[in-house]
Amino acid sequence: MSSSVSTATGHAADAGHHESRFHLYVQIAMILAVITGIEVVAVFVPFPPLVVITVLGVLSVVKFMFVIFYFMHLRWDKIFCTILFFIGLILGGGTLIALITLFRMHASIPLTFSNP
């Protein structure tokens, strides 16, 4: 008898938990929409390019963190999954930097040889 009561109570607690997460997701979606609006406006504001690029980079990192921790559920996963995610992110970023360095503009200009 007590197991049926605890099960019913457990379902009610789970429903409230999912309800609060739904509201959290909606709030985060609104925050992400506002950040996206700020990014769009920042492109058209007459600031030096370095300032605009820095602001866009910081806002992109904030949006990225919101998405991975809440919408990809890394906040509620085990720490091992988060570590694996960031290891892959670091390896991918390192590969990107290596490829950009390897194929930068002046490195891809063909060599010219003069005839003696």
Domains in the chain: boundaries: 2-76, 78-107
53, 42 contact by CB (below 8 A): no
Confidence band (pLDDT; 50, 70, 90) for 91? very high
Distance CA 43, CA 10 (A): 49
Distance CA 61, CA 57 (A): 6
Contact 39/61 with Cβ under 8 angstroms?
Answer: no
What pLDDT shows up at residue 14? 52
Query: Is the pTM higher than 0.75?
Result: no
